[in-house]
Structure 1
Amino acid sequence: MEIKLHANATTTPRVRRYIQQSAKSDRELAQELGISVATVRRWRQRQDVADRHTVPKTTRKVLTDEQSLLINWLRQKLQLPLDELLVVVNQGMQQPISRAGLDRYLRGVGQRNEDEGRALRGKKALKAGAQPGTLALYYQRISLLAADGGEQHLLWAEEKVSGWLNARAFAGASPVLVVNWLKELLSHCPGGIQSIETENKKLFGNSESQTHPLQLWCQEQGLTLQQPALPQMERVLRLESELAQLLPAAENLSLDAVLQAICTNYNQQWPQKKLGDLTPAAFWLQHRKD
């Protein structure tokens, strides 16, 4: 009968049975059989003499359906280019997917060619005459499981030339909260702000709402408030999995804490080729216009 052993096996089934039935000490058996004491102890603890399968008992796709949904949302709504999306997926979501693998995935869901018409960023934006200092504001309702906080209101700002990000999650949202968030945000910006672009939503006001808190605050700060055609967000982004399954770094942390950590790493620790191998924070600081 043919016996199939593991490639690195140092014992046969007969030797393993002998070890299990012997009354000798572990060290005596190891010296007698020319194997390690650890090997003797391992086979003495087992009831069988067969090699165990090395294939994982459960196999898992690189991306779950919920993670795919989140990646699609980041791509469509934040319009993250491939390299930036790769950083978020690898380091923010802690999913080990290659650039080529992510590119194939985006092609498969019809999102790979969305780079066309995207606003210039980094060195190319500077050559085109753009300067850092314009924030684009976005808002999104997110429905999480009750254990993760239930409904959350996501606010984030993106500096359009450097890609610098700031994101927070709140239990509620109002125009006054937006202003307070921006006041706190300004203290973390690497450079000055000249203008703000917003979605055309009640939360941010519009050109006709002259008494809107955000409009009044921008006037006080001497900031231009514009409302170009920014990507419209889904009314509610529903995530049916636990937050820690989507973002392993989120275990025992709130969504707000995770977002702040990801933004800090993204801004300060992830250099990008389009930024001259600088981080978004360093690029904005180097080319700031105060």
Structure 2
Amino acid sequence: MGQILHGSATTTEAVRRAIQNSQESLRALSKRYGINQKTVAKWKKRASVADLPTGPRDPHSTVLSLEQEAIIVAFRKHTLLPLDDCLYALQPTIPHLTRSSLHRCLQRHGISRLPDVEGDKPAKKKFKSYPIGFFHIDIAEVQTAQGKLRLFVGIDRTSKFAYAELHTEAGKMIAAQFLRNLIAAVPYKIHTVLTDNGIQFTNRARDKYAFHHIFDRVCDENGIEHRLTKLKHPWTNGQVERMNRTIKDATVKRFHYDDHAQLKKHLADFIDAYNFARRLKTLKGLTPYEFICKQWTSQPDRFIIDPIHQRPGLNTRTN
């Protein structure tokens, strides 16, 4: 961990530096680091271990001339026609113009999207509002150099408070323990959880004679309503799906981890920063924990403990 790698990187800066300083053959280095000999040769020739920038230095069309691009840009800005209408109108003047070359031209000049016109789109429906304590829960897969891990994530629909754990397995007993840990970590009462229909959370339809699922038993013990998403409708649980992506973008998709311990530490740091320091537009500029503390003043009956006591750092109160 410590360097930012692009998505297709097969080496770290430390490996690249070792290749440049080594006197071994390309074949030996290739076998040692599990990479292609061409990759070894490439880093042998370079003086730096940083990735080179990709893409053209001066983006320009290989199909259109500067005069033709100027015609396209002027036409688009003047008419504000959609892409296909622009194509059909300009093709008599520029016969070799294709839809893809027209789109790339508009993108280069920052006019590929037309300005929104009031009334041309239906108004977005707002999510049904719930009091704090409605958690979306899901499982995702992440990986380090040591192997795969299962990422359990829960996020409050209203406060956006997030809780996450990493496990080597994703069985129903682990899912039930995750729920118990989530209940203990939250300073207020959880009244509803929403999960998919995975076997970690509920019995399959054909298992009608099976025992009451352990996850449901934990819900019953704590007075929690367990809701399930519709089959083949993963977007019903979209809030936690989006949180999964946010966590991955900040961790495994951005950094290399030599072992599980590095990822677990970084994940804990990220979740703390998210809950206590990240200001969210949907919460009107508050952090998730600031929102929770605000709810404590207006709805104290929903809380188990004073959330101010769980803030990081020194907690001092005067009477």
Q: Give the number of the structure with larger relative contact order, counting CA–CA contacts within 8 Å between residues 6 or more apart.
A: 1
TM-score (norm 2): 0.44
